[in-house]
Amino acid sequence: MPSFFSETQKRLVYHYDAETLWIETWGQNSLRVRAVKNAEMPYTSGALKTDWALLPPRPCEPVITINDEEASIRNGKIELRINRFGQIIVFNEKGELLLEEYVRNTRDIKGRNCSALMIDGREFKPKGSDDYALKVRFECRNPSEKIYGLGQYQQPFLNLKGLDLELAQRNSQASVPFALSSLGYGFLWNNPAVGRVCFGRNITTWEAYSTKYMDYWITAGDTPAEIDEAYARATGTVPMLPDYGTGFWQCKLRYQTQDEILEVAREYKKRGLPVSVIVVDFFHWTCQGDWKFDPQYWPDPEAMTRELKSMGIELMVSIWPTVDRRSENYTEMLEKGYLIRSERGSRTDMDFAGNVTFYDATNAGARDYVWEKVKKNYYNKGIKTFWLDVAEPEYQVYDFDNYRYYAGSNLTIGNIYPCMYARTFFDGMKKEGQTEIINLIRCAWAGAQRYGALVWSGDIHSGFESFRNQFAAGLNMGIAGIPWWTTDIGGFHGADIGDPAFHELLIRWFQWGCFCPIMRLHGDRSPHKPPLGTTGGGMIGSGAENEVWSFTGEVYKICEKYLFLREKLRPYIKEQMRAAHEKGTPVIRPLFYDFPGDGQAWETEDEYMFGPDYLVAPILYQGKTGRQVYLPAGTHWTDCWSGKQYDGGITINAPAPLDTIPIYSRNKTSEPFA
């Protein structure tokens, strides 16, 4: 009988008909699985050599066993077996089943699962080129399995089991395809193609609509922390957060002039309120793609930056990847191939305030070109942190098949764009000797964290329903390896600064923001202000005031309370940022992360841990002045406001008047917050 298996370079190889499959160790307790039906494995050599999200692995010695019917590869706590018909089954070190490919055909070994359905676990459907539509299916043998991670989606469920999710980037949606299972494994779909994943009750299906290969990474671990840390070692961790990042960030749509932003900063200082970062938002420039201040409204950026620094405030400046046809750089970038191309129609990918396309961040030459412009016009003027907006990129129409990058079609590699956008600035800043690099960005894919990506949840609605969506999104982003995460406190769209209902939402969101990785106030508030002019930085209007004193006295008093609480917490937050840098530990995480042995912790979806010490239970519904809070077993808890102490393993009724968010400290008897 011919052998379908071989061992090459410590790699288990399976070959049947046109398919070649590689299985190899990729870090401790982890395996990488790749398959193709073309002549060779793509992206392993040449100019586009890439492992996508994965870093080069640390050496591991696999144990590979081969016979005529089956082969296996074991690496620490994980073992993968593949039979002669190509079906993959994965076990942990205890022999417990983790994953099993869904196979329903008559080729299955020893007649098991024989079926007339003729469905393979790995389905490659040709697209008339060397690309395939790919589906990979896994059985769901355990109906109680829970799934977390996958990035940021505008939906309220923390547990993703039963959900159907698009693997594509959109404004307020960030596809980061790493899943953590309650069964004790982590799974990275290491493929930047546009697609989908469905975590059905019977089958989990991963899809890539157009790709040359199958590529995924899987790890086994005894706890969620062990699994997440293995994933962090495989894909990288964030840099160390600069000290200013732990404070309060002031932002709005949009400060229109240099004088206006300085007046806001001076007012914060006059009132004695803590503020660490202030932001110059979009259309401060002469033209999209010029990447420089409009001198009519921003006459002396260096002086502005110096004054802010003298007040202890870091300046962040908005950058867009858009290039207007009227930009001074458009023709040169077009000639050099530095712009994204359209397969059909004109090269206008967005028509916001001009006909614009996007620079091609998958092209190293384009990344260098954009950075040199930014370096000359911003970085050399003292600005060391950037707001990388429109990072998906935000197409006017999300026809993913209509755009082509240097690295391939958008359908095939498009989800990588926000990573390469972040890398543009990370590489440039690192080259200048900067080590603590952080840039705010509106989207991410797996591995973006290692490029200093602080992700925010996009242009979301101002409402309690949206608030609940962000709560789930932030926790799942942390599980998916993106520990730097934030929202527009109060939401972005649809709020009037005089509306009492918005005041309640803002207060509850501000309280929660105090216990988020980054505390940042932003939004497009009503009533709006008109544009100052008709060109450059004057052609776009502004939202209403959005500083903490812009609302009622009650709102101001409560915001002031949490601004100073954030200041008090900054040394603690810095400790959590170090854990994120060193181990990939999420700053905010579901209760099960710290209490994996507590079954109720896995069922609780409206509380979380802020680092290892604080349990946070925000008020997520309008009009509520109290809520039930589950305190995990195995430890003692102290109410951070009253000092009252509780044994764990119980559910309590927590009071939450408008100025209070329920917070409990773990094994702490220190002075309460109040």
Write out the catalytic residue numbers: 389, 392, 459
d(CA 169, CA 331): 28
CA pseudo-torsion sign 42, 47, 51, 53: negative
- Paired tokens of 595: 């209490």
Q: To which residue do tokens 């393993």 refer?
A: 649
For 184-241, give the secondary structure using H, E and C: CEEEEECCCCCEEEEECCCEEEEEEEEECCEEEEEEECCCHHHHHHHHHHHHCCCCCC
Measured torsion, CA atoms of residues 612, 582, 229, 590, in degrees rounded to the nearest 10: 30
d(CA 324, CA 340): 13
Q: To which residue do tokens 């492992």 refer?
A: 51
- Residue 450: exposure state from Cβ atoms within 10 A (0-12, 13-18, ≥19): buried
For 345-412, give the secondary structure using H, E and C: CCCCCECCCCCEEEECCCCHHHHHHHHHHHHHHCHHHCCCEEEECCCCCCCCCCCHHHEEECCEEHHH
Angle 500-514/553-583 helices, nearest 10 degrees? 30
Task: Give Cα 89 to chain centroid, integer Å.
Answer: 30
| Ramachandran area for residue 132 (φ above 0: left; ψ -120 to 50: alpha; else beta) | beta
Peptide bond connecting 239 to the previous residue in cis, omega within 30 degrees of 0: no
Q: To which residue do tokens 């977390």 refer?
A: 148
DSSP 3-state of 119: strand
Q: How many CB atoms lie within 10 A of CB 328?
A: 14
Q: How many CB atoms lie within 10 A of CB 343?
A: 12
- Do the Cβ atoms of 417 and 360 come closer than 8 Å? no
Quote the Cα angle for 448-147-474, to 5°.
45
Task: Give Cα 561 to chain centroid, integer Å.
Answer: 29
d(CA 341, CA 352): 18
Q: What is the DSSP string of 576-626?
A: HHHHHHHH---SEE-HHHH-TT-HHHHH--S-EEETTTEEE----STT--E
CA pseudo-torsion sign 94, 100, 104, 106: negative
- Do the Cβ atoms of 418 and 321 come closer than 8 Å? no
Q: Which among 593, 405, 619 is positioned nearest to 513, based on CA atoms?
A: 619
- Paired tokens of 231: 């994933």
